[in-house]
Structure 1
Amino acid sequence: MENNLKIGWNLENTYTSLPNIMFSEMDVNPVNNPKLIILNEKLAKSLGLDYTALKSKVSVEELAGNRALEGGIPIAQAYAGHQFGHFTMLGDGRALLLGEHISPSGELFDVQLKGSGRTPYSRGGDGRAGLGPMLREYIISEAMHGLGIPTTRSLAVVTTGEDIMREMVQPGAVMARIAASHLRVGTFQFAAKWGTPKDLKALADYAIERHYPILMDKENRYLLFLQEVIERQAALIAKWQLVGFIHGVMNTDNMTISGETIDYGPCAFMDTYNRKTVFSSIDIQARYAYENQPNIGAWNLARLAESLLSLIHEDQEQAVELAQKAMTAYPEKYEEYWLAGMGNKLGIFNIEHEDISLIDTLLQLMEKYGADYTNTFRLLTLGKIDESDLFGKKDFDLWHEKWQQRLDEQDVSKDFIQQLMQKSNPVVIPRNHRVEEALEAAIEREDYSILENLLQVITSPYDYSSDYIDYTNLPSDTSGPYKTFCGT
């Protein structure tokens, strides 16, 4: 207990108040030789944790899953999900929820270990994780946080002293993940399919009280809950699209109720703009391609609506009608968030209907000429379009003239417009070749300096005063399409 107090952990176990079908209590699954690889100082401090104490031997044992946190009850959560459209029973097959930490501000955060060993939901897997995928999640989740996109975050990565086999043999690792919660659309699918009506109601009430407490006393809070999740997911996916982020595995078990991005397996950021971009090696049908993400968001939310029907109204027909009406708001809300964001990227304060054509034309030109997505908006922001792949193209020159005319119509200064664009267009993203460079150095040579430098850059993506020019460059090797892997 003394070590727990020194570090600052302040745990509750509210999830264990749910029906037993929703989780399995677990013992920790020790590893041979845990070693701390990386620790997130800023996140630790925001949680009220002592950064130095977190590096102690006892703490590393906890972060590796060799001992439970004082006051915590380790559990593996049960859930289901549509994986690439196919429904299946899932659950935490390689993760343990250690408990829920109460931050100094009173917020509740899940503390989960990923790669912590087998559970009843492992489906024959070893329950472990490789160092590469865990460091990838650390990098991308911190980049997303820096970009201002709601996300789970990584507190630490610890190697286990054991090798695991995936595409190749690599060091085993455990990541400590912090989340608003790990409640997913798939959690509700599980309760609706295998639980009782009482179980489903308990889960819904828990989710509402945790994430949308203002709804608890409202009439038909379950319909309002659905509407709130729709709102948050529309906003979230619009933000993904605006920075060229491709999730890669938008299964219903990877869509949170809180509106945070979760699961950074086969994800990546787009370089050359192409709406059909797919990075995931397992997404053979391109179900989760960049252009499909908004519609997949709607599809996943429809699965949530189906799971909630019995709570929305006792009459099935009325429940369906109410849920369908709620779902019609999604495309409108998504379009609203996306258009506002694109307007900001182009320095347009109040989007008008005519601006849609201006936006669409730019994207078409970027795709036609193979322009880099992030760099195009960065160069527009800096007024350095002569450095772009679009420079000198007649159709782009015509577009640029129309864009300048549109900006001149606004009753604001040029400095004000540029400030808006700088806040909306990142200088840097975690370029795929940079991520791979950092991972290779870490795994092959135990050199973490490249990773540390990359993190320093991508956690300040809107800093136009810094000299990050090397991190804006595209890879010199374009021998083939970039592929990412799930890690399981």
Structure 2
Amino acid sequence: MAVFDGEHIRFSFSQLGSAFGNAVKPTPLDNGRLLTYNAALADELGLTTADIHSESFRAILSAEAPLAGRQPFAMKYTGHQFGQYNPELGDGRGVLLGEWRDDKGTLWDWHLKGAGKTPYSRHGDGRAVLRSTLREYLASAAMRGLNIPTTQALAMATSDTPVMRERIETAATLLRVTESHVRFGHFEYLFYSRQHDALRTLADYVIARHFPELAEAETPYAALLQEIVERTAEMIAQWQAVGFNHGVMNTDNMSILGQTFDYGPYAFLDDFNPSNICNHTDYTGRYAFNQQPAIALWNLSALGYAFTPLLESDVINDILGGYEHHLQVAYSQVMRNKLGISDAQQGDSELFNALFSLLESQRVDYTLFFHRLSHITQDALLSAKTLSQFNDLVSDADTLTAWLSEYHQRVAAHDDNTRLTCMQATNPKFVLRNYLAQQAIEAAEQGDMQPTHDLMRVLADPFRSHSGLDHLSQRPNDDEKDLTLSCSS
């Protein structure tokens, strides 16, 4: 269809030069066909149902045809994986198809994952499987529904192509869209390979494409690094507040836009466990839930080091030095929203810490606790009926009563309707628990997409009830909790 032929398409990143990657020819899927798509995102991009179901889109999604007749591009980057620098990274199973301009003039990268081998595939086959593709499709929708910055998945294709992992699986592709696929690792690659002119070109490109207002700053590169630091801190604050564990925070999985990027062995906490590890290859707990704020700073420091050809070291260190304050301010604000507290007071951190101690010691379901609390009026906070609502979550009623008493005093001067409205808009009823994602995957592998459609419906609006689907908010059974996954999950 004409919509995919030209006027909406640009290819600016691939035109930066050979230092930034390679033009590639994807490997088509066998009998590739549309499996599912995000209708709300399609609408945001200006695509109709007819566009999505067209033969042109099917061919693009199945890696049979390029976007607007232009050759796809595999991006080159490197990065630190589990703290060790790896120079051999890059788009090993994905290609940048081009940049789509929507009706508002916003440019979106279209990136096809699972499109076959590239120069950066190393020993891999360049394929993605239905299992991992569906997990990313669902996770990006979940984060978008929670108002947490994220890449998004427009559509998935399935196929008749077999892929060997631990077993024979079905090859799939995922069309990921976001304003930028530039990672911390892009800057690291150009720095460590001593391509400093190209490093400056990349920084100029990022400013011109994503932060044009920074071009007017006294020191644009310092302003760029500051922007990345602040966006990353705000993203991490939101991860921690909602109980999201990324699982593999390598620098090549960190977006310069402060978006949640590259979903692999992620998890939303079930029982509150600050030391939760969701990646079964993370033997040291480097990427445990409670390590994410520190790892983000470590990653930003690696990015700052890559900026040394552009900025003086003392400038970089000053910018990095502001990360923890910015994180704390952002996190405190989100936590106050979760508790419906409209003003900051000196004792708030003690109130938060007492709650986290309760949640950890009692292994309380993180999402359900906050959601239930967000529907209890001040007058009812200390009632026997309220305590009974937490019987299945908290075994120590005395500790809960003590904390609720402190909380009751803290919000006594608040307007109750305002408090509850804030809490109900902040504390989701639905999150993408791993057992739900696994159920959707197993059904999809048998050709049943209804569980996926049901999840997409509740995840798009996770703060309210959904008729006939409230069972998707239930806590998992013991054998469904704390699933650990691999990077290929």
Query: 1:371-415 CA distances to partner (integer Å, 9 max, x unpaired)?
Result: 0000110111122553222365212211101101110133xx211
Number of residue pairs matched?
477
Measure, in 1, the Cα distance between the counterparts of 2:138 and 2:194.
Answer: 37
- Tell me if the contact between 1:8 and 1:48 (Cα under 8 Å) persists in the aligned partners: no
**Which of 359, 362, 365 is 2:355 aligned to?**
362
TM-fit CA distance, 1:481? 4.1
Report the counterpart of residue 259 of structure 2 in structure 1.
260
Measure, in 2, the Cα distance between the counterparts of 1:117 and 1:357.
Answer: 52
Report the counterpart of residue 176 of structure 2 in structure 1.
177
Report the counterpart of residue 19 of structure 1 in structure 2.
17
Q: Which runs of 5+ in 1 are unaligned?
A: 313-318
* Further displaced range: 89-98 or 22-31: 22-31
Measure, in 2, the Cα distance between the counterparts of 1:99 and 1:380.
Answer: 46
Which residue type is aligned with residue 367 of structure 1?
E
Measure, in 2, the Cα distance between the counterparts of 1:19 and 1:198.
Answer: 12
Report the counterpart of residue 299 of structure 1 in structure 2.
298
* Further displaced range: 12-21 or 254-263: 12-21
* Further displaced range: 386-395 or 51-60: 386-395
TM-fit CA distance, 1:210? 1.4
- Distance change (3 Å), C-alpha of 1:400 and 1:116: same
Which residue type is aligned with residue 387 of structure 1?
Q
SS in 2 for 1:478: helix
Which residue type is aligned with residue 424 of structure 1?
T
TM-fit CA distance, 1:222? 0.6
* Further displaced range: 456-465 or 232-241: 456-465
Measure, in 2, the Cα distance between the counterparts of 1:50 and 1:22.
Answer: 33
Measure, in 2, the Cα distance between the counterparts of 1:231 and 1:173.
Answer: 35
SS in 2 for 1:216: helix
Query: In the alignment, does 2:456 pair up with 1:455?
Result: yes
Measure, in 2, the Cα distance between the counterparts of 1:31 and 1:479.
Answer: 33
TM-fit CA distance, 1:71? 4.8
* Further displaced range: 469-478 or 93-102: 469-478
* Further displaced range: 341-350 or 385-394: 385-394
Report the counterpart of residue 137 of structure 2 in structure 1.
138
- Distance change (3 Å), C-alpha of 1:420 and 1:355: same
Which residue type is aligned with residue 139 of structure 2?
I
TM-fit CA distance, 1:177? 0.4
**Which of 395, 404, 412 is 2:408 aligned to?**
404
Report the counterpart of residue 382 of structure 2 in structure 1.
none
SS in 2 for 1:311: coil
Query: In the alignment, does 2:431 pair up with 1:429?
Result: yes
SS in 1 for 2:160: strand
SS in 2 for 1:424: coil
- Tell me if the contact between 1:7 and 1:54 (Cα under 8 Å) persists in the aligned partners: no
- TM-align CA RMSD: 1.6
Report the counterpart of residue 399 of structure 2 in structure 1.
395
- Tell me if the contact between 2:191 and 2:199 (Cα under 8 Å) persists in the aligned partners: yes
Which residue type is aligned with residue 78 of structure 1?
K
SS in 1 for 2:34: strand
Report the counterpart of residue 307 of structure 2 in structure 1.
308
Report the counterpart of residue 152 of structure 1 in structure 2.
151
TM-fit CA distance, 1:169? 1.6
Query: 1:88-118 CA distances to partner (integer Å, 9 max, x unpaired)?
Result: 1200000010000111111111000000000
Report the counterpart of residue 216 of structure 2 in structure 1.
217
Structure 1 segments (4+ residues) deviating >3 Å: 6-9, 464-469
Which residue type is aligned with residue 347 of structure 1?
G
**Equivalent residues in 2 for 1:247-396, closer than 5 Å:** 247-312=246-311, 319-383=312-376, 384-388=386-390, 389-390=393-394, 393-396=397-400
Question: What TM-score do you get using the length of structure 1 for normalisation?
Answer: 0.95
- Tell me if the contact between 2:59 and 2:65 (Cα under 8 Å) persists in the aligned partners: yes
- Tell me if the contact between 1:157 and 1:174 (Cα under 8 Å) persists in the aligned partners: yes
- Distance change (3 Å), C-alpha of 1:325 and 1:21: same
SS in 2 for 1:124: coil
Report the counterpart of residue 114 of structure 1 in structure 2.
113
* Further displaced range: 78-87 or 401-410: 401-410
Q: Which runs of 5+ in 2 are unaligned?
A: 377-385
TM-fit CA distance, 1:480? 7.2
TM-fit CA distance, 1:351? 1.9
**Equivalent residues in 2 for 1:49-64, closer than 5 Å:** 49-64=47-62
* Further displaced range: 52-61 or 327-336: 52-61
Measure, in 1, the Cα distance between the counterparts of 2:422 and 2:481.
Answer: 36
Query: 1:460-488 CA distances to partner (integer Å, 9 max, x unpaired)?
Result: 11125756531221222427741112118
SS in 1 for 2:425: helix
* Further displaced range: 467-476 or 181-190: 467-476
Query: 1:39-88 CA distances to partner (integer Å, 9 max, x unpaired)?
Result: 11111110111222221223211111111011533100000010000101
- Distance change (3 Å), C-alpha of 1:177 and 1:7: same
Which residue type is aligned with residue 429 of structure 2?
V
**Which of 34, 39, 59 is 1:36 aligned to?**
34
SS in 2 for 1:148: coil
**Which of 70, 76, 79 is 1:78 aligned to?**
76
Query: 1:189-219 CA distances to partner (integer Å, 9 max, x unpaired)?
Result: 0011114221110011001111211011322
SS in 1 for 2:51: helix
Report the counterpart of residue 315 of structure 1 in structure 2.
none
Query: Matched residues, percent identical?
Result: 36
- Distance change (3 Å), C-alpha of 1:487 and 1:392: closer
Measure, in 2, the Cα distance between the counterparts of 1:8 and 1:432.
Answer: 40
Question: What TM-score do you get using the length of structure 2 for normalisation?
Answer: 0.95
Query: 1:414-466 CA distances to partner (integer Å, 9 max, x unpaired)?
Result: 111100000110011012111111111111x1111111111111111112575
- Tell me if the contact between 1:185 and 1:252 (Cα under 8 Å) persists in the aligned partners: yes
- Distance change (3 Å), C-alpha of 1:417 and 1:9: farther
- Distance change (3 Å), C-alpha of 1:114 and 1:381: same
Report the counterpart of residue 126 of structure 1 in structure 2.
125
TM-fit CA distance, 1:7? 8.3
- Distance change (3 Å), C-alpha of 1:480 and 1:233: closer
Measure, in 2, the Cα distance between the counterparts of 1:465 and 1:270.
Answer: 22
Measure, in 2, the Cα distance between the counterparts of 1:414 and 1:391.
Answer: 28
